[in-house]
Amino acid sequence: MNNGYQILEIKDIVFNTETIKTFIFNWKMEGEEITKPGQFMMVWNFNGEGDEKPMSLSKIDLDNEEIGITVKNVGKFTNNLHSLKIGDELGIRGPYGNNFNLNGDNILAIGGGVGMAPLKSFVEHVKSKNKNVDVVIASITQCELLFEEDFKKIGVDVFTSTDDGTCGYKGFATHRTIDLLKSRTYDMAVVCGPEIMMKGILNILEDNGIPGQYSMERYMKCAVGICGQCCVDNTGWRVCIEGPIFSSEEIKQITEFGNYHRDGSGIKRE
Ligand SMILES: Cc1cc2nc3c(=O)[nH]c(=O)nc-3n(C[C@H](O)[C@H](O)[C@H](O)COP(=O)(O)OP(=O)(O)OC[C@H]3O[C@@H](n4cnc5c(N)ncnc54)[C@H](O)[C@@H]3O)c2cc1C
Ligand code: FES
């Protein structure tokens, strides 16, 4: 972990969907700065109101020493990020948190919306190890499906589902996964998306005896385990230190998972 900020120029911006952009930065890949799929960076936008938020690493390019974060425009902070141009600067610190672990030869990645972000770098890692990986991409509608073409380009089987049926399977990621598991099986699965979706996927994977690793989001302030903002009730685990990736066995112990989270003031939100 590197606790100092690096002030970095935005090297490139990819327009993924109408509401999602990927920002690329140069990043040294040695010592404490080596990043792993599943980890996140704290991004400080001093161009806007000076706020700082966690963002997963969607791109980790060891050869070219580049990282990428993929950001959905949902509020003030992300809207400010989306207004930035190539050459603008951001403060980046990290990498933080634990990472996905590759266990087995046959992997399933299941992502909803911008939850595909941490899965993208993991899927690329799995392919680089010559293992098989299939991907379920779910979104509300076709124009929000994230990374479909990127995955197809590297030879990954992609199974899309949209809530409104405008692309692929009509239904939720859970329905698509149940259908897929009728004909294929996997050694492990990685999952990221809305908690209600991840909770449904947890039940399905458990029924099929497939171990899972889940990327969990909580409001963060320090990201280094000091402030306690990201603690999940009843376990004492901090999402920024013991997470953000939790195994099936761990996530089953987190009673707030899929039920509520705490906002920046510590107030419970459904
Ligand atoms: C470990 C970790 C990794 C993360 N990785 C990413 C990432 O790769 N890409 C990314 O875009 N965000 C990611 N986030 C979430 C990000 O840090 C922000 O919380 C989020 O983008 C909201 O930013 P905002 O301040 O603009 O919106 P806010 O003003 O906080 O929220 C605006 C509205 O959007 C809703 N909202 C908040 N977060 C999300 C969300 N993620 N998706 C949909 N609606 C939301 C809120 O409920 C609210 O109604 C991650 C969070 C964590 C803890
Ligand atoms: S954000 Fe401070 S302990 Fe996790």
Query: Edge to edge, what strands does the sheet with 52-61 contain?
Result: 6-9, 89-96, 40-44, 52-61, 66-72, 20-26, 12-15
Domain pair 6-96 / 106-269, same fold: no
For residue 1, what pLDDT is reported?
A: 57
Q: Whose CA is nearest to atom 36 of ligand 1?
A: 74
Domain boundaries in the chain? 6-96, 106-269
Distance between CA atoms of residues 105 and 144, nearest Å: 30
CB 65 within 8 A of CB 28: yes
Does the CB atom of residue 232 touch ligand 2 within 6 A?
A: no
The CATH class of the 106-269 domain is alpha beta
Distance between CA atoms of residues 183 and 70, nearest Å: 32
Does the CB atom of residue 7 touch ligand 2 within 6 A?
A: no
Distance between CA atoms of residues 220 and 36, nearest Å: 20
Q: Which residue has the tokens 């010559």?
A: 130
Query: What SS3 state is found at 215?
Result: strand
Distance between CA atoms of residues 197 and 188, nearest Å: 17
CB 86 within 8 A of CB 53: no
For residue 47, what pLDDT is reported?
A: 87
Q: Which residues contact 121 (CB under 8 A, 6 or more apart)?
A: 37, 38, 57, 58, 59, 60
Distance between CA atoms of residues 83 and 26, nearest Å: 20
How many residues are given for the chain? 270
**Topology classification of domain 6-96:** Elongation Factor Tu (Ef-tu); domain 3 (2.40.30)
CB 232 within 8 A of CB 257: yes
For residue 90, what pLDDT is reported?
A: 97
What is the full per-residue pLDDT of the chain (270 aa) written as tens digits?
A: 556 889 999 999 999 999 999 999 999 988 877 899 999 999 999 987 789 999 999 999 999 999 999 999 999 999 999 999 999 999 999 999 999 999 999 999 999 999 999 999 999 999 999 999 999 999 998 888 999 999 999 999 999 999 998 888 888 999 999 999 999 999 999 999 999 999 999 999 999 999 999 999 999 999 999 999 999 988 999 999 999 999 999 999 999 999 888 888 888 888
Q: Which atom of ligand 2 is nearest to the CA of 230?
A: 4
Does the CB atom of residue 72 touch ligand 2 within 6 A?
A: no
For residue 265, what pLDDT is reported?
A: 85
The stretches of the chain forming alpha helices (DSSP H) are 76-82, 116-128, 148-153, 173-180, 195-207, 248-251
For residue 267, what pLDDT is reported?
A: 86
The bridge status of strand 188-192 relative to strand 212-215 is parallel
Q: Which amino acid is at 110?
A: I
Q: How many Å lie between the centroid of ligand 2 and the Cα of residue 139?
A: 29
Q: Which atom of ligand 1 is nearest to the CA of 54?
A: 17
Q: How many Å lie between the centroid of ligand 1 and the Cα of residue 181?
A: 30
